[in-house]
Amino acid sequence: MAASMDTKMLVFGGLCFLLVFLFLRLVVVLRGLGKQRCMTHSNLRQLKIMIITGSGGHTTEILRLMGSLSDAYSPRIYILADTDKLSEEKIKHFESGRKKEGRNSQFSLERIPRSREVRQSYITSVASTLYASLYSFPLVFRHSPDLILCNGPGTCIPICAAGFTMRFLGMKDVQQVYVESVCRVQTMSLSGRIMYLFADHLLVHWQSLKEKYPKSIYLGRVV
């Protein structure tokens, strides 16, 4: 009899939790719809974009890609690993060039702990990624981007997870575009394999990757 009572209490508690979760999600969705109705026509022309940079070639590739985007992708929030000094210099140089050309140069820099250092084992990177998530989720929720753009660094995983969570909770439909690094010809990076499951659009530079990952988009060399 006691076991049966415990089971009923457990089921009742689970139902209560589910109802509270669904109610909160409904509240968030309705608030989001209200905000969308209040958006002006000029705001609709702008697309707040969050760009995840990485050490070395990752940052170079993502900035080349940014150079081909219009000023409608603004403001721009660049995400850097806290140990990455070189990327900050590259970003500032890139944005300085935009300003000299008379283009929109509204941007900001945000730093989070690095999810995975070079040559760090995959096992230990689980803990460091979870640690980076503690910084990533509040950051993404605060900026509330329309689009997240990334191309391979491990730093992108907690950021993209936060964006996916915003969509799941009905807070905002954050679009995610993942562009695999041009150096990936036969195999996709670990970040790419993860984002293949969640990204709205995943671009590859080589037909060989398109054949292995049918849902990816092959556009040739885009950087």
CATH of the domain at 187: 3.40.50.2000
Say how far apart CA 165 and CA 60 lie, in whole Å. Answer: 28
Distance CA 16, CA 9 (A): 10
Q: How many CB atoms lie within 10 A of CB 198?
A: 15
pLDDT of residue 17: 53
**Position 119 in a domain:** yes
Instruction: Identify whether residues 84 and 183 lie together within a single domain.
Output: yes
Please check whether residue 146 lies inside any domain of the structure: yes
Could you give the percent of the chain with pLDDT greater than 90? 49
Place 193 in a pLDDT band, splitting at 50, 70 and 90.
very high
**Residues 20 and 91 occupy one common structural domain:** no
First to last CA, the chain: 68
Torsion of CA 103, 217, 112, 141, to 10 degrees: 80
Classify residue 223: in a domain, yes or no. no
Residue 6 — very low, low, confident or very high, per pLDDT cuts 50/70/90? Answer: very low
Same domain, 210 and 100: yes
Res 27: pLDDT: 47
Domain-located, residue 179:
yes
- As a whole number of angstroms, the distance between CA 163 and CA 53 comes to 16
CA distance 210 to 41: 38
Q: What's residue 96's pLDDT?
A: 93
**Which of 7-21, 130-144, 184-198 has the weakest average pLDDT?**
7-21
The answer to whether residue 2 is domain-embedded is: yes
Query: At residue 208, does pLDDT exceed 60?
Result: yes
The answer on 85 and 9 residing in a single domain is no
Q: Which two tokens stand for residue 13?
A: 């508690």
Q: Is the four-CA dihedral 208, 209, 212, 214 of positive or negative sign?
A: negative
**Tokens representing residue 75 in the block:** 């403001």
110 lies in a domain?
Answer: yes
> Confidence band (pLDDT; 50, 70, 90) for 29?
very low
Q: How far is CA 72 from CA 35, 68, 93, 177, 212, in A?
A: 20, 12, 20, 16, 34
Residue 8 sits in the same domain as residue 97: no
Q: Which residues contact 90 (CB under 8 A, 6 or more apart)?
A: 53, 59, 60, 63
Q: Do residue 98 and residue 194 come from a single domain?
A: yes
- 15 plus 72 within the same structural domain: no
* Count of the separate structural domains present in the chain: 2
Q: Per-residue pLDDT for 43 more than 60?
A: no
Answer yes or no: pTM beyond 0.85. Answer: no
Query: How many CA atoms, within 13 angstroms, populate the side-chain half-sphere of residue 109?
Result: 15
Of 88, 155, 105, 96, which is closest to residue 125 (Cα–Cα)?
A: 155
- Is 188 inside any structural domain? yes
Least confident of 42-51, 150-159, 167-176, 214-223: 42-51
95 and 185, same domain (yes or no): yes
Asked if the model's pLDDT at residue 136 lies above 90, the reply is yes
Same domain, 50 and 30: no
- Type of residue numbered 197: L
Q: What is the pLDDT of residues 53-101, one digit of tens each?
A: 987 788 999 999 999 899 999 999 999 988 888 899 999 999 999 999 9
- Residue numbers of the domain that contains 83: 41-218
54 CA to centre of own chain = 13
**88 and 189 part of one domain:** yes
My answer on whether 51 and 155 are in the same domain is: yes
Q: What distance in Å separates the CA atoms of residue 101 and residue 61, rounded to the nearest whole number? A: 21
Higher local confidence (pLDDT), 144 or 125: 144
Same domain, residue pair 75 and 26: no
Determine, yes or no, domain membership for 158: yes
Higher pLDDT, 30 or 196: 196
